[in-house]
Amino acid sequence: MNITTEIGNRIRHRRNELKLSQEQLAEYSDLHPSYIGQLERGEKTPSIETLYKITTGLQISLSDFMNGLENIANKSDTYAYKSYQLIEQQTAKNQERLYHILRFILELDR
């Protein structure tokens, strides 16, 4: 996975957490809705100014949004990172369920 794809995943994940449509985020960010979709799919690479607008619309600081991004290239091939990516894209309720399932499975190995 590359950084552009990760940024898109983070935008989508945060937008879904806030229960915003792409159109609502576009309005809050003063951007076009189709551009939000392109960013979420990793088709476009946003500028810092655009990221600032989006993070403002997502009610998260730019630094919090970017936290850990520098590690993407190094970790993207690990199963732990791939699992994290799958889980992160789920709703909070499904994340909780997956966590409990994983804990159960790991306890079986003991």
pLDDT digits (tens, 9 = 90+) for 78-106: 787 778 878 888 888 999 999 999 999 99
CB atoms within 10 A of CB 84: 12
Residue appearing with tokens 């159960």: 104
pLDDT at 64 over 60: yes
- pLDDT > 90: what percent of the chain? 65
Residue 16 token pair: 């879904």
pTM over 0.75: no
Lowest mean pLDDT of 53-57, 65-69, 76-80, name the range.
76-80
Domains (ranges, CATH) in the chain?
A: 1-70 (1.10.260.40), 77-110 (no CATH)
